[in-house]
Amino acid sequence: MKIYQVERTIREARNAVMFNLFAMLRQEFIPDPRQSINIEVTSFCNLKCRFCAYQKKQGSKGHMPNDRFFDYVEQAARMGFTEFHLTPVTGDVFMDPRLFDKLHFLENHPKVKSYAFFTNFTIPNRDAIGQLMGLHKLAHLTLSIYGHDLGSFKAITQANEKVYQRLLDHLRFLLEHLDQCRFKLAIGWRSYHKIPGGRPSALIELLQQYKTRGIKVGRSQVYNNWGGYVSNADVAGLDIDINSRASYKKGACAMLFNSIMVMADGTVNGCPCRDVDASLKIGDLNQQPLAAILSTGNQDYMRLIEAQQHGHYPLVCNNCDFYKSIYYYRSASGAAGRPPMSLQSFKELLEQP
């Protein structure tokens, strides 16, 4: 058994004790459900990463039209949402050709406090990166960097050398202008277990320079299983691991309450990060307003929560290793806004006009 598997086994055993204890005490820790919301501006990506469920997505792909985005933000703002997360379930925000129209709308909206997103940083040109530096409400930007050199980048992403060189250029440009960035920057570095010694590659040297400048660079070699969509067979031949074990579960997932996803086609889904084909659909903004979907009157939403409370999880949830229980204080303690609340308090909040 590998070290990460031992650590996970210990963590799961601890969680099982904790979840059951707080469930017995009937004490839930639900994060603020009116602080932040996810809106997917596009469901397209330019990479075909071996560890990602993008290529297995069954539903249609598309960009969210500007007028729909503006309307959805306005609806959310009227309900009290102030923070917006734009990272697609599978995709990259810069695939949206009208992205900056949307960002400027958020910048100018009086009720929007902040927004954030992830990107693989291979798409935007220098002009687009320069525009990012001038944004006031972009609170957090995370760069997802794959591989440690040209060979591993190509193997993981199935992209070509031109894309790799473009990434290096973008990283150099951003590093040169780091002092002009208003947003908090982080780098998620996903590569192999073993990186060859000797002279570091241009990519590693750049990441080291970012570390020197105080930027957090988090390295990972164990990848999420996307609710069972991806397995180790999908990354055969790569020195990485897919976590094939689902998390221990007790009670509803905290993300059903504070991480609702509005997908590019207007579908409102209960999961923002792993449910590729929206099997946790709770509504459609093409048919009803957001206030009606996020309410106790929406039986699809309430049934999904109640089912998980009774231990009945849809397939994508049952296989998921990204689950966060409402019986775990840390699922809510790191968030700003309202303090963690009970399930009853959550329902009472939803019933308020």
C-alpha–C-alpha distance, residues 185 and 141, integer Å? 5
The predicted pLDDT at position 336 comes to 63
C-alpha to C-alpha distances, 341 to 19, 86, 241, 257, 327, nearest whole angstrom:
16, 26, 36, 11, 11
C-alpha to C-alpha distances, 153 to 22, 61, 122, 144, 158, nearest whole angstrom:
44, 25, 12, 12, 8
Contact 247, 9 (CB under 8 A): no
The predicted pLDDT at position 199 comes to 87
Contact 144, 118 (CB under 8 A): yes
C-alpha–C-alpha distance, residues 254 and 203, integer Å? 36
C-alpha–C-alpha distance, residues 266 and 86, integer Å? 14
The predicted pLDDT at position 255 comes to 94
C-alpha–C-alpha distance, residues 13 and 33, integer Å? 28
β 222-223/216-220 pair status:
unpaired
User: What radius of gyration do the chain's Cα atoms show?
Assistant: 20
The predicted pLDDT at position 197 comes to 86
Assigned token pair, 224: 């999420």
The predicted pLDDT at position 67 comes to 98
C-alpha–C-alpha distance, residues 132 and 126, integer Å? 10
Q: Read off the pTM.
A: 0.93
Residue with structure tokens 């070699």? 221
The type of residue at 112 is: V
C-alpha–C-alpha distance, residues 241 and 253, integer Å? 25
C-alpha–C-alpha distance, residues 164 and 39, integer Å? 28
Give the torsion sign (CA, 329, 332, 334, 340).
negative
Q: Which element (helix H / strand E) includes 332?
A: helix 330-333
Up-side HSE of residue 148: CA atoms within 13 Å toward CB? 20
Give the mean pLDDT per block of 10 residues along the chain (353 residues). Answer: 74 89 94 96 97 91 97 98 96 98 98 98 98 97 97 98 98 97 97 90 98 95 87 94 87 95 97 93 98 97 97 93 88 67 95 82
